Amino acid sequence: MSTATDYKKAAVECWSADPCGAVASEGELGTRPYFERLLQARHDYAPWMEASLGYDETGGRDVLDVGCGQGIDLARYAMAGANAVGVDLTPRHVMLANAHLAALRLTGGAIVSDAEALPFADRSFDRASSNGVLHHTPGIAAALREIHRILRPRGEARIILYNRNSFHYWLTQVLYRGVLHGELFREGSMAGVLSSGVEYSHIGARPLVRVYSPDEVRRLLADAGFGTSTVSVRHYNYRDTPVTAILGSRLKAFRDERLLDRLGRVGGWYLVARALA
């Protein structure tokens, strides 16, 4: 059985070799043209994230981006006028995030840190954001307690996680990969199936990948000390399941943005949590 240290080592290996989102942009990492293409690729992939993460609400506020990756959300908060700081477990992510901020002449910065032990004083931030990160940490409960600790009273956390109740999880990961392709038999568990194939890795790295239900996320937030919380479901692309990938390639109706948005609000791949400290 892998330990927490093993999982974190695997995460660093994965995203050192293939920085998060790198396959979505061409060019030299760390440069302005590359990063501008990466920002556009994020918008094209999930335009709903802009409102869900509330960039425009953070002008003049102290914002912490937990698991900042190459700096997409960090840059968007900085563009909105926030005093933005990022942390990431992967040193290469931190190097690239800082290079990208500098390339766009934005203030703010990133440092290497573990989400489960944040290097900040209590009540240091007005907003904490974590986008697609905490489902990779073995101690999500500890990470959420840390996020609550560094938030000021009535500060807000915005957290995006993978959804166990999604069409993608049950149809693609469980049925298609796990059952039909025999990966569940070979791996012995869905944890193994997710670890082996959800995140891109050209070196075969296997970071921890967990999925959560809305109820689980609400309980985790309450246990971490948060008061009011809401959890919504977002994001569906016709390529997210084998059946709709085939239909969408042939029928325009299955690529309709309004239909995909409705499906995403029912069985989307992401949970969007908002919680007040």
Model confidence, pTM = 0.96
Q: Which residues, 6 or more positions from 231, have their beta carbon under 8 angstroms from its beta carbon? A: 214, 217, 218, 271, 272, 273, 274
User: Are 131 and 274 spatial neighbours (Cβ–Cβ below 8 Å)?
Assistant: no
**Could you report the per-residue pLDDT of 191-209, keeping only the tens digit for each?**
999 999 999 999 999 999 9
Residue 254 confidence (pLDDT): 81
Place of tokens 């590359």: 34
Tokens 């900085």, residue located: 78
1 has a pLDDT exceeding 60: no
Pick 248 or 125 by higher pLDDT: 125
Residues 122-147 have pLDDT tens digits of 999 999 999 999 999 999 999 999 99
pLDDT given for residue 272 in this prediction: 98
Q: Write down the pLDDT at residue 23.
A: 86
DSSP secondary structure letters along 178-204: IIIT-HHHHHSSHHHHHHHHSS--TT-
Predicted confidence (pLDDT) per residue in 135-180, tens digit: 999 999 999 999 999 999 999 999 999 999 999 999 999 999 999 9
pLDDT band, very low/low/confident/very high, at 270 (cuts 50, 70, 90): very high
Amino acid 8: pLDDT: 96
CB 101 within 8 A of CB 108: yes
C-beta separation of 272 from 234 below 8 A: yes
On average, the pLDDT of the chain sits at 96
Residues 271, 29, 64, 134: is their CA dihedral positive or negative?
positive
| % residues pLDDT > 90 (the chain) | 91
Dihedral sign, CA of 76, 78, 80, 82?
positive
